[in-house]
Amino acid sequence: MSILADTLSRVKPSPTMAITGKAAELKAAGRDVIGLSAGEPDFDTPENIRQAAHEAIENGKTRYTAVDGIAELKQAICAKLKRDNGLDYTPQQITVGTGGKQTLYNALMATLNPGDEVVIPAPYWVSYPDMVLLAGGTPVIAEAQLENSFKLTADQLEAAITPKTKWFIFNSPSNPTGAGYSHDELKALTDVLMRHPHVWVMSDDMYEHLAYGDFEFCTPAQVEPALYDRTLTCNGVSKAYAMTGWRIGYAAGPQELIAGMRKIQSQSTSNPCSVSQWAAVEALNGPQDYLAKHNEMFVRRRDLVVAMLNEIEGIQCPTPEGAFYVYPSISGLIGKTTASGKTIETDEDFATALLEDKDVAVVFGAAFGLSPNFRVSYATSDAALKEACTRIQDFCAKLT
């Protein structure tokens, strides 16, 4: 008999991390692998933030802190939510965790009873359904379509809600599609939620600052203030400030929920890293001008990748509003055979053959719940992106 709990048989390890690991292995073996699978910016944490961390260490900020964050960071988060989102929260309504991932996980652990359903739009960030399963709930997947630029419609949300629905998880701009909901598109969804007062909304705003062109970021509690009392607004410093390794995420919501999340954290990891918390204070309170500079770079890369992928017959790649991902459809390539003789029946076959034959690592769409597609992370250099897209073009040109 296995030592492992039954729950574990229902969840899978993160496929994006597995692919990134496989690409790293090939690279270590001397292959010229271009990784387009990692979900993190390719530049360093800004200097002022690194400096704040050094100072924290020198000033002895190296001990346990309050379980869900130091007062200074909670203040900085309240100020940020007011400044950027027009939302009023008090420090008692804020919780800080070890990455956005932990705060989302805490929220699900603190609220789900067996049988509770969580509506998750697909394509989704890989961890949502598995976190729901780990917390004992039931994920209900609502599929968005390519035709709607991978955005869920009001009718699709309405159809997914049942009396057992506890949460709707909303993520804009999205991982894996980069799709960002406009004010009106989000309002159509919040109107549905207004008709179902038992449903709470967990808004994962992790890619808020990675928003391009005319697209203006918005979040549910801002678009529909009447949802404030049943919204958990989640965010973090990982993506915008190139701080993925520092592990700081946060959430704002009703005090009862925040206290429940704190309880979970107090019995698992306690406080997030003290030094990282001081770095996050600087990230939120310090200068924000590099965000626009990074975005200029990301827009250029997005446009390059979208253009090169759309040149390929059989691939359709919408231009997303934000994040650093594109999610091309490969429905025109299914059933074809590679130059090395492999048949592409699924998007996983496509990604595996691309890595083996052309040393380009992408994540297959099945991992995100919508196929046949693949996800490209364009958070890497222009030169690497050009070379990778050329290899993808070459790989596809040789399909028969």
Applying CB under 6 A, the residues found at the interface with ligand PLP are 39, 99-101, 125, 171, 175, 204, 206, 236, 238, 244, 249
Radius of gyration of the chain (CA): 21
Closer of 139 and 249 to ligand PLP (Cβ): 249
Instruction: Evaluate whether 245 touches 276 at the Cβ level (below 8 Å).
Output: no
> Taking the complex as a whole, how short is the minimal distance between the CB of residue 206 and ligand PLP, in angstroms?
4
> Taking the complex as a whole, how short is the minimal distance between the CB of residue 357 and ligand PLP, in angstroms?
27
Instruction: Evaluate whether 124 touches 368 at the Cβ level (below 8 Å).
Output: yes
Backbone angles phi, psi at 254, to 5 degrees: -60, 145
Q: Which residue is nearest to ligand PLP (CB)?
A: 99
Residue 282 CA, distance from chain mean position: 23
Closer of 156 and 175 to ligand PLP (Cβ): 175
Closer of 126 and 392 to ligand PLP (Cβ): 126
Residues pairing with 116 in the sheet? none
Q: Where are the beta strands (DSSP E) in 246-315?
A: 249-252
> Taking the complex as a whole, how short is the minimal distance between the CB of residue 187 and ligand PLP, in angstroms?
21
> Taking the complex as a whole, how short is the minimal distance between the CB of residue 247 and ligand PLP, in angstroms?
7
Tokens of 276: 């990282």
Find the DSSP H helices in 35-153: 47-58, 71-85, 99-111, 127-134
> Taking the complex as a whole, how short is the minimal distance between the CB of residue 361 and ligand PLP, in angstroms?
16
Nearest residue to 98 via CA among 213, 240, 343, 265: 265
Closer of 127 and 331 to ligand PLP (Cβ): 127
AA letter at 267: Q
Closer of 106 and 175 to ligand PLP (Cβ): 175
Instruction: Kindly tell me the burial class for residue 164, based on how many C-beta atoms sit within 10 Å of its own C-beta (0-12, 13-18, 19 or more).
Output: middle
Closer of 125 and 350 to ligand PLP (Cβ): 125
> Taking the complex as a whole, how short is the minimal distance between the CB of residue 238 and ligand PLP, in angstroms?
4
Residue 312 CA, distance from chain mean position: 27
Closer of 203 and 329 to ligand PLP (Cβ): 203
> Taking the complex as a whole, how short is the minimal distance between the CB of residue 100 and ligand PLP, in angstroms?
3
Residue 72 CA, distance from chain mean position: 26
AA letter at 204: D
AA letter at 151: K
Closer of 204 and 359 to ligand PLP (Cβ): 204
> Could you tell me the strand order of the sheet in which 363-364 lies?
325-326, 374-377, 363-364
> Taking the complex as a whole, how short is the minimal distance between the CB of residue 313 and ligand PLP, in angstroms?
31
Instruction: Evaluate whether 367 touches 122 at the Cβ level (below 8 Å).
Output: no
Backbone angles phi, psi at 241, to 5 degrees: -105, 15
Closer of 111 and 238 to ligand PLP (Cβ): 238
Q: What is the DSSP string of 292-345?
A: HHHHHHHHHHHHHHHHHHHTSTT-B----SBTTEE--B-GGGTT-B-TTS-B--
The 10 Å Cβ neighbour count of residue 304 is: 15
> Taking the complex as a whole, how short is the minimal distance between the CB of residue 400 and ligand PLP, in angstroms?
36
